[in-house]
Amino acid sequence: MNSNNEHKGKILIIDDSVSNIQLINGVLKDDYEIFFSTNGVSGIKKVYEISPDLILLDVVMPDMDGYEVLTKLKSDLLTREIPVIFITALDSVEQEVKGLEAGAVDYITKPIIGAILKARVATHIELKKQRDYLKNLAMIDGLTGIANKRRFNEYLEKWYKISLRKKMYLSIFVIDIDYFKLYNDTYGHLAGDDCLKSIACAIKDSLKRPYDLVARFGGEEFACVIPETSYDDALMIAGRIKSNISNLRLEHKASTISPYVTVSIGGVYGIPTEMDEHFKMLERADEALYKAKQFGRNQIVIEKI
């Protein structure tokens, strides 16, 4: 695979005609990373595997037609934001209206004209980039530069569903700065803001994988979503967070447990079940945080869901 592919948009073609796939691939392969599937069922599976930036979807296919595929994609949080362009020989106005009302962003009729296909794909890829950029701006905490509570909640729901489907472990932490109100009272709110920024950086640096997330959850509270983590992994990561914050050596003379800023960490881990929802997992992490505080603060409590 070309090393430049990581910088290209990913396009998934779902079409039962191999000749159509070859034609579309020939038009787009120089500008995008192309994947394909020849039926709706395997196409949906491929969507979850590769998370494409755009889907080119045939309408008329055996077993599961394009409308059924689109309906399934639009019903799932993980896939509903992916733009879909219908490519079909059905060229009536009624069919085009039906496709757009179903949620497709565009409707291209066969025979395919390469220049038109290329232009429309480029337009929708660019529109998706702009939407993603604006969405990301709305999900950043203004003070610390990390994710905010809204982003955390969406991300947790996403990974809860992925972990449920794949039967993978998932861990979440809730982290609270010990005696932060006393810190603000002693050093002032500007120093408190600097403290929050330093803690955010320390937590972020403790998470090594690109899909681990730290967010400011509110006030002096932070939260992490850490996929694919067993109890031992979760305990090791929590310990690293606690150690990195300790190493900052931020003076806190009003604290009764340490001359420096410390944190309490509550966490849960396990394989999600259909009997629960993602917010229940967060509630249990909060309960673990409460226990960490009850044990004297500057503690870690990790429990199984």
Q: How far apart are CA 171 and CA 18, in angstroms?
A: 42
Query: Do 135 and 201 contact (CB within 8 A), yes or no?
Result: no
Strand pairing class (221-227; 213-218)? antiparallel
R_g of the chain, CA atoms, integer Å: 24
> Which of these, 244, 204, 210, lies nearest to 227 by C-alpha position?
210
Collapse the DSSP code of 168 into the 3-class scheme (helix H, G, I; strand E, B; otherwise coil) and give the result.
coil
Collapse the DSSP code of 1 into the 3-class scheme (helix H, G, I; strand E, B; otherwise coil) and give the result.
coil
Task: Respond yes or no: is residue 287 known to be catalytic.
Answer: no
Peptide bond into 111 cis (omega under 30): yes
Collapse the DSSP code of 271 into the 3-class scheme (helix H, G, I; strand E, B; otherwise coil) and give the result.
coil
Q: How far apart are CA 51 and CA 46, in angstroms?
A: 8
Q: How far apart are CA 7 and CA 81, in angstroms?
A: 20
Catalytic hit among 33, 126, 220, 274: 220
Just list the catalytic residues: 220
